[in-house]
Chain A
């Protein structure tokens, strides 16, 4: 073997090992993050974290009960906005629309998807907070809902399109009207993918902080109804992490663990749902 070949083989082995190292580094970051959060967050979690309200600055023993409920309300509202628009819009794109309209809608959705979340915050502030003269769960929910729309729309459209035409033709042949065909055949056939899309969109906005800074604002207490400011997990993490109080740091870790745990579980469930396959007819 010539020295040149030996060198080339060495380089090949070396570089390919390095790529393996790169992959290992990338994946170990995830495990490091998880491990660190579990350690710090786990040791800080307590019953009072989940059930108590925040206490005055400098005192200990407070919790994030209002932030947990606040996040739940915000996400509920966001889903109420994001899911129907995404779902029905996708049905339009997949089943009814012509080429140009579809292109425009998809383009707009992709545009919306790429907008930085802080800009969505500005948008929701001018649209909801200023007219109502009120920071509110409603405004925060709108901001998050707008972020959910493009993800739900595009993914649902893809899954609807993936349903084989054979199903559509069979339904039409049996005399079904179009909407009946969609409702009773196509959507059930694609439901796993649609569910995945919704779950992933949900997980994506669950961790968003920036748009909440000037919409949901913050609340030291329970937020009554939908038209008052509310605390939320991500915003509390931000507030507590940059403060000097050790008790707040502990709570921030716990909240981080809860939030990340929730998001990861939703992601894993979504992918599991999807991997069980989309219902296809036996050919």
Chain B
């Protein structure tokens, strides 16, 4: 009995000591970029074994809250923090929080309709109608008219949205608000809205899972989730009237306009931009980094990661269907890293 206790205590002591020299950094937030973030942190960890960056995909809303509360070292969000949230952080910590764009992604309408494997065309009106609950059947004229040649069943549409606070929701509702005054009035945009209809899935993972398992459903997720799980996703009509498929080219085209006019705080929306080839529901996604760190080791590790992310890291983006940052943005960000103290 005494021997067992002794051994246990040794194990406990070891547990405390063994990894004592690993610098553990914790981040949490958006599920939109989770595939590339987990890839990045894994690769960076391999190159820098003394640094371990643990990222949890819990949704942009949670990321913002937790970095503000200080329970994680950095956050991540696809909906930039609004002025109120920025002020809340500043008030609580005494210094501002910085946004660092990492990649460009797209929110796509993904669906599971028995018998339909092609990419459907969606007009803004169709998407608004579906999510407002006004368009209830798949063979509604609003959808069928722009998809001639596809036989759509007369089944009820099962709408899926996010149940957690989500930057993807922000992107999606931002788009719906911009194309529909009715949506803007009734629901508005945010990371967590009062959805008129639909089921809630947790995380982009949850929504993808729901759509995959539920016939006649539609959901909005980041492009890679639909691609990696082989579920069809639709083309969306952009501001120039062209039905555009979300891919590297169309997402980069969406950012092209704003790349040169990127504001200093990097908060910008590229929703529904001008341009014939631009995908209308694309967005930057940001890491939320406090501008001051009391722990010098953490600060240096994070700055090191950011530098790596802007150079080597970008090369991982395209294989995961995220578009690289425009080079003007990269240049501007590299300078901004120096403002982290």
Q: Could you list which residues of chain A lie within 8 angstroms of chain B, going by C-beta atoms?
A: 55-58, 73, 76, 129-130, 133-135, 217-226, 228-229, 239, 242-245
Check: B35 CB closer than 8 A to any chain A CB.
Answer: yes
* A–B complex contacts, Cβ < 8 Å, 27 sampled: A56-B35, A56-B38, A57-B38, A57-B39, A58-B35, A58-B224, A58-B320, A73-B15, A129-B71, A133-B69, A219-B56, A220-B56, A221-B45, A221-B52, A223-B19, A225-B20, A226-B15, A228-B24, A229-B56, A242-B205, A243-B206, A243-B208, A243-B209, A244-B205, A244-B209, A244-B229, A245-B228
Q: Which of B55, B70, B209 is in CB contact (< 8 Å) with A242? A: B209
In the bound complex, residues from chain B placing their C-beta under 8 Å from that of A243 are 203, 205-206, 208-209
Check: B34 CB closer than 8 A to any chain A CB.
Answer: yes
Q: How large is the interface on B (under 10, 10 to 19, 20 to 34, 35 or more residues)?
A: 35 or more
In the bound complex, residues from chain A placing their C-beta under 8 Å from that of B54 are 218-221, 228-229
Complex interface residues of chain B between 198 and 218 (CB less than 8 A to chain A): 201-203, 205-206, 208-209, 212
Check: B16 CB closer than 8 A to any chain A CB.
Answer: yes
Q: How far is the CB of A70 from chain B (nearest CB, A)?
A: 11
Q: How far is the CB of A146 from chain B (nearest CB, A)?
A: 20
In the bound complex, residues from chain A placing their C-beta under 8 Å from that of B203 are 242-243
Cα distance, A239 to B201, chains bound together (Å): 12
Contact B208 A133 (CB under 8 A): no
| Chain A residue with Cβ nearest B21 | A224
A218-B56, A220-B41 are known contacts. Are A135 and B71 too (CB-CB below 8 A)? Answer: yes
Check: B192 CB closer than 8 A to any chain A CB.
Answer: no
Per-position contact with A for B54-67: 1 when CB-CB < 8 Å, else 0? 11110000000000
Cα distance, A222 to B28, chains bound together (Å): 17
In the bound complex, residues from chain A placing their C-beta under 8 Å from that of B243 are none
Q: How far is the CB of A265 from chain B (nearest CB, A)?
A: 19
Contact B55 A134 (CB under 8 A): no
A56-B42, A135-B71, A221-B54 are known contacts. Are A226 and B16 too (CB-CB below 8 A)? Answer: yes
A57-B35, A130-B69, A222-B52 given; 13 more Cβ-contact pairs under 8 Å: A56-B42, A57-B34, A57-B39, A130-B71, A134-B26, A219-B54, A220-B38, A222-B19, A224-B52, A228-B26, A228-B54, A229-B54, A243-B209
